[in-house]
Amino acid sequence: MDITLFPMKHYLSLFLILLSFSVQAQISLSGIISQNQQVLPGALIYIPGSSFQASSDANGYYRLRGIPAGKHELVVFYTGNQTLHKTINLDENSGEVTMDFSMEEINAELDDITVRDQQLNQMSIERLKAVEGTNIYEAKKTEVINLQEISANLATNNSRQVYAKIPGLNIYESDAAGLQLGIGARGLDPNRTSNFNVRQNGYDISADALGYPESYYTPALEAVERIEVVRGAASLQYGTQFGGLLNFQMKSGHPDKEIDVRLRNTAGSYGFYNTFTSLGGSSGKWNYYGFFQYKRGDGWRENSQFNSKMAYAAVKYQANEKLSIGLQYTYMKYLAQQPGGLTDAMFNQDPRQSIRDRNWFQVNWNLIANTIDYRFSDRLKLNIRNFALIGGRDALGNLGRIDRVDDMGPRNLFVDDFSNFGSESRLMYHYQINNQPQVALIGFRYYNGLTDRKQGLGDDGSDANFSFTNPDHLEDSDYDFPGKNLSFFAEHIFNLNPRFSVTPGMRIEHILTEADGYYSQTTKVLDPDTGFAVDSTYQVQEYKSNSRTFAFAGIGLSYKPNEFLEVYSNFSQNYRSINFNDIRVNNPNLVVDENIKDESGYNFDLGFRGSGSPNKYNFDLSFFYLRYNDRIGAILQVDPENFRIYRYRTNIADAYSMGLEAFGEVNLKETFIKSLPIDVNVFANFSVINAKYLKSSERSVEGNQVELVPPFSLRPGLTLGKDHWKLTYQYAYVQEHYTDASNAVQTATAVEGIIPSYSVMDISAFYRWKRYKVEGSINNLTNNMYFTRRAAGYPGPGIIPSDGRSFFLTLEINI
């Protein structure tokens, strides 16, 4: 489907029409929330299934504005108290309505630890509300992972455990330390999560969101409050990524303490050690939070040692009821030895072995962000996010074929330095049409990225020396990759009645990517003295510029027959620009087509989801169809001169991916068997996906299965909990799938081939007593030998085995 199908003027006309509707009279509801004549700050009051919600302030005062006339159910929630449900009737002449609420404790004798455990027994997965902050999620497929509610190994950022309830994900399990995250969905490459728009607190954290969207930094999950996942329709608000949005929402300071300290120490197998210290709190108009994390380990395989330092500091100033200003800084630095890949024969012989002991990788990351929130009124809100990245990553080692021994010569050295900054502004307006609440959102984004990329030879030693042998005359290339992006986007929720909504949206993009530098080329020339052909290397200066402007659109539909069920559907066009690896990279295992071009397509979702309150069941069953035009991928070709087989990266073909994604969770005690002595939660997610290449100029590709798409995956689990403890058992099964478009079963280089079917089990648990918490986990309980990845470059090339069985123990103290 052509992404420029809809003229830009039609989008602008549609948006002006949407904003031209008249604003109806507003009804406000306000009052005091208290308990035993003591006010309750931070109590939540909301209307289920709507965007109307508020929290009581320090005086217990709340206010809901813009409520339409009619019959509504109000819910009031405060931890440790019985949830209140009240039905109210508002007519057009109600104006300002005052209503106070008095709450009762669940049990006056319960201590604060038991109250906190009441929260822990809730479901750990939920959906984003229709409107959150200045973001619209109505009718989109969304998931939220509440990290405070799960039993998982957070010290190692164990993605298999953390994302166990998100269906349709393909997870690279080749980084047991959690230094990098690799997840993909619906046939998209999981490599460094490059097909998701990855953010922290709503701003970009990847290397270069436009030209090199790979994530070398992953937040420490011990400091993350929740993870938000929005599938492909997120492109309208967040930009051009087929996978959608992955946002890490960091913790903030304790609202009721001036100083809150948390100490965590974790020890594990293979020399793993992690220490995490956080400090947060609130004082007057100020809220602050920060942490420092250090971890190291020797690794499950030989030559896998690592050490990592990470720090984060955030402060927020609430100037008044309308204005708040935030400032955040993130620092990460790590050094890791990389054991390289294996051939199939090596993996079958001993997956823990390594024949590369000179490969190293380091990352230095600095993120700075400023957020401004201004509430003009209860109906009009402004959010501004300014952000910058100063960082780099260096890779050093032998990238030659893994089926050949290391010649101990000079190593390949890749040095990238990133200098990026951007700003994103959002304006949200609440109003009414025919007594129904409506929400309009417009936004603007500016992004400027610069990547300085150098490739040449390092020394012939074995240590982590990231210096070029010939810095003034690099053997491979030296490029600057500037990029600019201007975007305008708009979405609108039309609530046609209390149960049915239509949410159209659009995005206009202007993208400029450039490449300025040189690459080295070697040819044979005749030596006049000897008469023999010899190699001659020279530099080729090059400048490329690609500017394009386009528009794409989408629409979502939502029907809520009651507060427990929703039927939703969403269609969204999408686009993905070529990245810097597609413009110029020298890799002995890869050749890039110089005429490679951008990709386009669309996402479609149709599903139904719901939950039983409180804490009974939760489910989401959906069908999706993803169309990918001019999909970029790699195929095997033969050099006609020397008959060498090499990987050729180009626009392979049009492709599609379609399937079923399902998740369900039920609390047996709350739903079926009230007499159970403990809470028993049973959950499972599964996906069935069919993905194939359509028309292609490559006959060897047409009709093949799309690579990196497991046809079937299943991840069930069981959670047991009571009072102060929780235990979770998880199982994962992923079916065999291909790693390249040619559907090669096995090659000598091990870069291409199948990923055999595999299964793995984990057990994790924790126990909390007063200020102390003990956590433990056993990863890969049955010690299965398997792999999820074949790498063309670092950290390979070749098969990257996943870790065998390992044990971890954590002690936490809250001061």
Tell me if 40 sits within 8 A of 78, measured CB to CB.
yes
CATH architecture designation of domain 248-814: Beta Barrel (2.40)
User: Coil, helix or strand for 15?
Assistant: helix
| Spatial distance between the Cα atoms of 110 and 806, rounded to a whole number of angstroms | 37
pLDDT at residue 240 is higher than 80:
yes
More confidently predicted of 111 and 437: 437
User: So what's the pLDDT on residue 121?
Assistant: 41
Written in H, E and C, the secondary structure of 182-247 is CEEECCCCCHHHCCCEEEECCEECCCECCCECCCCCCCCHHHEEEEEEECHHHHHHHCCCCCCEEE
User: So what's the pLDDT on residue 104?
Assistant: 82
> Smallest Cα–Cα separation from 694: which of 653, 750, 755?
653
Helix (H) or strand (E) holding 427, with range, is strand 412-433
| Spatial distance between the Cα atoms of 136 and 489, rounded to a whole number of angstroms | 12
Tell me if 369 sits within 8 A of 203, measured CB to CB.
yes
User: So what's the pLDDT on residue 162?
Assistant: 95
Q: Indicate the pLDDT class of residue 50, thresholds 50, 70 and 90.
A: low
At 474-504, the pLDDT tens digits run: 989 999 999 999 999 999 999 999 899 999 9
> Which residue carries 């980084």 as its tokens?
175
| Spatial distance between the Cα atoms of 736 and 749, rounded to a whole number of angstroms | 19
Query: For the chain, what are the domain ranges?
Result: 1-110, 248-814
Q: Indicate the pLDDT class of residue 1, thresholds 50, 70 and 90.
A: very low
pLDDT at residue 244 is higher than 70:
yes
The residue type at 135:
N
HSE toward the beta carbon, residue 115, CA cutoff 13 A: 13
User: So what's the pLDDT on residue 647?
Assistant: 74
User: Coil, helix or strand for 24?
Assistant: coil
Q: Indicate the pLDDT class of residue 539, thresholds 50, 70 and 90.
A: confident
- Give the global pTM: 0.85
Using the CB atoms, write b or e for 103-138: b if 16+ within 10 Å: beeeeeeeeeeeeebeebbbbbbbbbbbbeebbbbb
Mode of pairing for the β-strands spanning 135-136 and 798-801: unpaired
User: So what's the pLDDT on residue 409?
Assistant: 94
Report percent pLDDT > 90 for the chain: 63
Question: What's the chain's average pLDDT?
Answer: 88
User: So what's the pLDDT on residue 71?
Assistant: 81
At 545-560, the pLDDT tens digits run: 889 999 999 999 999 9
User: So what's the pLDDT on residue 331?
Assistant: 98
The CATH superfamily assigned to 1-110 is: Carboxypeptidase-like, regulatory domain (2.60.40.1120)
Q: How many CB atoms lie within 10 A of CB 65?
A: 16
Tell me if 515 sits within 8 A of 584, measured CB to CB.
yes
| Spatial distance between the Cα atoms of 458 and 188, rounded to a whole number of angstroms | 33
Q: Indicate the pLDDT class of residue 120, thresholds 50, 70 and 90.
A: very low
Tell me if 160 sits within 8 A of 763, measured CB to CB.
no
Using the CB atoms, write b or e for 173-195: b if 16+ within 10 Å: bbbbbbbbbbbbbbbbbbbbbbb
| Spatial distance between the Cα atoms of 276 and 263, rounded to a whole number of angstroms | 6
| Spatial distance between the Cα atoms of 755 and 92, rounded to a whole number of angstroms | 63
At 337-372, the pLDDT tens digits run: 999 999 999 999 999 999 999 999 999 999 999 999
Q: Is the dihedral of CA 635, 640, 646, 647 positive or negative?
A: negative
